[in-house]
Structure 1
Amino acid sequence: MKQTAVRLPDETYERLQAMAEKTGRTATFYIREAIEAHLEDLEDVYMADAVLARREQGDARTVNLDELDSALGLDG
């Protein structure tokens, strides 16, 4: 497991510490939970942005549902 440092605004830090104290968990637990909960969403956003940029540059294209069905042999 790797370790990293995170700088937080004072208000966020205080909220995190209060939650840890109220629940008996560590602040590290909640930081890890938050990152894991949102990392996949962030990856999806960045992937979509990259695909959109490729499409705008003409390096990728889209297909409509009928074309997709036909390509997958589902049109019959």
Structure 2
Amino acid sequence: MLALRLPEDIERRLEALAKRSGRSKSFYAREAILEHLDNLEAAYLSDEILKRVESGQEKTYTLDDLEKELGLAD
């Protein structure tokens, strides 16, 4: 369960969208979170990721390596 307070203008927009589409406000809040969670994690956790890369705990790949792995290389 999640409860959050939104600015009035956002709440009005969300309410209008829900009414016009027949879906709930919760549906759209969930969709927005799912759509953007990866980006938020990358933005806010990038320092941790960089430390893991620098310490060798996180493996990185070149584009060439990735293309070969996926069978896309010439």
Verify same fold: TM over 0.5.
yes
Q: Map Cα deviations across residues 17-40 of structure 1 (whole Å, 9 max, x no partner).
A: 000001000000000000010001
Matched positions, count: 58
- Unaligned 5+ segments in structure 2 are 57-61, 66-74
With the length of structure 1 as denominator, give the TM-score of the two structures.
0.62
| Corresponding residue SS for 1:40 | helix
Asked if the contact 1:17–1:27 (Cα under 8 Å) also holds between the matched residues in 2, the reply is yes
- Unaligned 5+ segments in structure 1 are 70-76
| Corresponding residue SS for 1:22 | helix
Which residue is 1:74 aligned to?
A: none
Distance 1:32 1:6 in 2: 12
Provide the aligned C-alpha RMSD in A.
2.3
With the length of structure 2 as denominator, give the TM-score of the two structures.
0.64
Which residue is 2:43 aligned to?
A: 45
The structure number with the bigger radius of gyration is 1
